């Protein structure tokens, strides 16, 4: 997916069936109108849409000063920003112009604007010694922030302000963040009911079908973590509402006759209790933090499928695609995964029958982690599937392609109880367990199956060049369970290990399965020669760390 902006091409991200996003680097297009078009085929010649959209690129203004230089932390004070280029292009409406102080945008329109001066009201802001950057945007979106010299200092306390709601990248919890000013934590101590702070609709969404109310925990005076259950209805784009009069500044010195609750007390000064506010999780990037400039993406789940590479030629031979291991991989999230399995229309035999069988097995895809086909395979010889898993935030895995051949012989169906690619430490030993299911139509007086493991291929991940094959463990290479010592493998190399299961009575009737092995990077191991010791106060002490090593370095 590629966007063409003028004469340059940029990689784009698909948001949904009607929207894509891409980043236009600063200064890449010059100043003036820019035609945008899109290609679904990596920008190849002749693949761009005939329609274009005009996009106007303007030169950013220059900032000189802000007056006054100090305002109340509560906000609402009039300020004047001077500079140049505030009205550089009449095609940008003045009503779009916005001021920003630190990370907070003043949503109200400016009260005065010409090419060198803009008047707007200050937002709330934290009482930091260095103040906050002053920023302006002619279009209300693309902000230019000043150098360190042009800053606005906020003085005093303010109401707690909600600045971010986003999911943990692993889709297991929800973070609710307030500004850096310390709060009273809504009176919570340790883990407690989320209803102490969140409104009823939000609690109901987080609770979902669970019988228990969701629990929350303050990690700091400004960050609340919601623990999610597998029955939650939390989702990308969800609304999070904060109840009024539950939070106030931790350092607020309110009258003693208010007791412990200044929000229900007759105050002679302005209240610093929070108002009822709400914010929605980013629907396109639900793990992105609104309080940072970077784009935080959710962890991508992995489609880990266990399936044989061969099935026998018996009329009732079946094929099972088991993707249950995907639920344990990073990025799977707290709720059941959605599984999408498709037959390859160009490579899968019996495409229509297989597709119908998949649809019947999968249903809506939620939790459908194992699929078995049998009658749909009759008459075919090769079956190719693409498996995708999607977590409850809508993040999809890279497709896993599974190819299974059907032989004429009644070979046993062989599987290895492990994900397609396995990473382990060089200091550990990996156990790979294979199993074989006897073909129903095999005719013989003996049903004994012999196993044999081998390394069939190895390549360097950095350049794709072939690597030497390691030796197998002699005690287990002819057993169903193979022991692989990490010390026998090299870092940065991917190994293909294969197991063959042959009928002892018919040595040519064999099934096979393969897996990929890699070594994980291990931490450096620090060692000081001699260990602990006692020395006199006047004696020299020599410490040698020469024996420290990188466990992955086998040089």
Domains and CATH numbers, the chain: 2-57 (no CATH), 62-155 (2.60.40.10), 162-280 (no CATH), 300-407 (2.60.40.10), 409-524 (2.60.40.10)
Cα(257)–Cα(105) distance, integer angstroms:
37
Let me know how long the chain is: 555
Strand partners, 503: 449, 506
H or E element in which residue 499 lies = strand 493-503
Show the tokens assigned to 163: 């600045």
Dihedral, CA of residue 334, residue 339, residue 340 and residue 343, to nearest 10: 150
pLDDT tens by residue, the chain, 555 residues? 999 988 889 999 888 889 999 988 877 767 888 899 999 998 898 899 988 998 888 888 999 999 999 999 999 999 999 999 998 777 778 899 999 999 899 999 999 999 999 999 999 999 988 899 999 999 898 898 877 679 999 999 999 999 999 999 999 999 999 999 999 999 999 999 999 999 999 999 999 999 999 999 999 999 999 999 999 999 999 999 999 999 999 999 888 778 788 888 877 678 899 999 999 999 999 999 998 989 999 999 999 999 999 999 899 999 999 999 999 999 999 999 999 999 999 999 999 999 999 999 998 888 889 999 999 999 999 999 999 999 999 999 999 999 999 999 999 999 999 888 999 998 899 999 999 988 888 876 677 899 999 999 999 999 989 999 999 999 999 999 999 999 999 999 999 999 999 998 888 899 999 999 999 987 887 888 876 677 788 888 788 888 887 777 765
> What is the DSSP-derived secondary structure letter of residue 522?
P
Question: How far is Cα 467 from Cα 203, in angstroms, rounded to an integer?
Answer: 56
How many angstroms separate the CA atoms of 402 and 423, rounded? 20
Predicted local distance difference test score (pLDDT) of residue 531: 67
The answer to whether 36 touches 23, Cβ cutoff 8 Å, is no
Q: What whole-number distance in Å separates Cα of residue 332 and Cα of residue 156?
A: 44
Dist CA 475 CA 69 (whole Å): 78
The Cα 40–Cα 49 span in angstroms is 9
Residue 432 three-state SS: strand
∠ CA 200-202-208, nearest 5°, is 100
pLDDT (0 to 100) of residue 555: 55
Q: And the tokens for 249?
A: 């500044």
Facing residues of 226 across strands?
174, 216
Q: How many CB atoms lie within 10 A of CB 223?
A: 14
Alpha-carbon span 349 to 384, nearest angstrom:
8
Residue with tokens 């291929």: 457
What is the pLDDT at residue 543? 83
Encoding tokens for residue 511?
Answer: 């099934």
Q: What is the largest CA-CA distance in the chain?
A: 97
Identify any residues that bridge with 166 across adjacent strands, giving them in sequence order: 175
Report the sign of the C-alpha dihedral through residues 318, 324, 329, 334, in that order.
Answer: positive
Buried b (16+ CB within 10 A) or exposed e, 259-293: eeebbeeeeeeeebbbeebebebbeebbbbbeeee
Residues 6+ apart with CB under 8 A from 295: 285, 288
Element (H, E) at 456: strand 449-460
Q: Whole-model pTM? A: 0.81
What is the C-alpha separation between 310 and 411, in angstroms, rounded? 8
Q: In whole angstroms, how far apart are CA 369 and each of 303, 339, 363, 416? A: 10, 7, 11, 17
Identify the CA nearest to 332 among candidates 395, 423, 398, 401: 395
* Structure tokens, 282: 């980013």
Alpha helices in 112-165 (DSSP H): none
- As given in the structure block, the two tokens for residue 187 are 């009176």
Among candidates 274, 296, 301, which has minimal Cα distance to 286?
Answer: 296
CA distance 131 to 150: 9
**Are the CB atoms for 519 and 486 separated by under 8 Å?**
yes
């Amino acid at each position: 997916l590629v966007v063409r902006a003028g004469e340059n091409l940029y990689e784009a991200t698909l948001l949904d069936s009607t929207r894509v996003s891409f980043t236009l680097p600063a200064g890449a297009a010059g100043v003036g109108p820019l035609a945008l078009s899109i290609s679904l085929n990596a920008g190849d010649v002749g693949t761009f849409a005939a329609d274009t959209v005009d996009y106007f690129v303007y030169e950013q203004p220059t900032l000189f000063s802000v007056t006054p230089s100090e305002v109340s932390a509560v906000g609402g004070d009039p300020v004047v920003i001077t500079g140049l280029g505030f009205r550089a292009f009449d095609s940008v409406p003045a009503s779009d112009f916005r001021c920003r102080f630190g990370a907070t945008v003043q949503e109200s329109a400016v009260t005065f604007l010409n090419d060198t001066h803009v008047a707007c009201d200050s937002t709330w802001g934290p009482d930091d010694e260095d103040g906050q950057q002053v920023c302006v945007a002619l279009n209300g979106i693309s902000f230019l922030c000043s150098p360190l010299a042009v800053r606005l200092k906020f003085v005093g306390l303010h109401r707690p302000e909600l600045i971010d709601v986003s999911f943990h990248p692993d889709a297991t919890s929800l973070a609710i963040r307030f500004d850096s000013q310390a709060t009273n934590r809504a009176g919570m101590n340790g883990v407690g009911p989320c209803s102490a702070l969140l409104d009823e609709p939000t609690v109901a969404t987080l609770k979902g079908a669970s019988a228990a109310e969701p629990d929350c925990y303050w990690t700091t005076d400004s960050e609340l973590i919601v623990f999610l259950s597998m029955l939650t209805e939390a989702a990308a784009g969800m609304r999070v509402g904060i109840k009024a009069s539950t939070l106030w500044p931790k350092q607020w010195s309110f009258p003693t006759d208010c007791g412990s609750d200044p929000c229900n007390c007759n105050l002679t000064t302005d209240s610093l209790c929070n108002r009822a506010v709400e914010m929605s999780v980013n629907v396109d990037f639900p793990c992105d933090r609104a309080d940072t400039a970077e784009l935080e993406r959710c962890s991508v789940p992995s489609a880990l499928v266990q399936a044989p590479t061969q099935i026998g030629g018996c009329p009732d031979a079946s094929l099972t695609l088991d993707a249950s291991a995907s639920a344990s991989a990073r990025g799977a999230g707290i709720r059941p995964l959605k599984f999408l399995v498709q037959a390859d229309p160009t490579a899968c035999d019996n495409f229509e029958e297989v597709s119908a069988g998949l649809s019947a097995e999968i249903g809506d895809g939620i939790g459908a982690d194992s699929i078995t086909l049998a009658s749909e395979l009759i008459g075919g010889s090769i079956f190719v599937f693409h498996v995708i898993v999607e977590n409850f935030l809508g993040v999809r895995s890279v497709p896993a392609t599974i190819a299974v051949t059907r032989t004429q012989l009644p070979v046993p169906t062989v599987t290895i109880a492990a994900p397609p690619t396995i990473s382990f430490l060089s200091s550990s030993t990996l156990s790979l367990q294979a199993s074989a299911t006897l073909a129903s139509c095999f005719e013989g007086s003996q049903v004994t199956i012999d196993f044999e493991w081998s390394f069939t291929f190895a390549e360097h991940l950095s350049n794709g060049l072939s690597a030497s094959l390691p030796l197998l463990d002699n005690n287990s290479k002819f057993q169903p369970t193979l022991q692989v010592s990490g010390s026998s493998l090299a870092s940065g190399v991917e190994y293909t290990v294969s197991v063959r299961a042959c009928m002892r009575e018919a040595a040519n009737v064999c099934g096979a399965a393969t897996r990929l092995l890699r070594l994980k990077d291990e931490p450096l191991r620090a060692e000081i020669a001699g260990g602990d010791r006692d020395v006199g106060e006047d004696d020299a002490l020599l410490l040698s760390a020469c024996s420290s090593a990188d466990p992955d370095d086998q040089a």
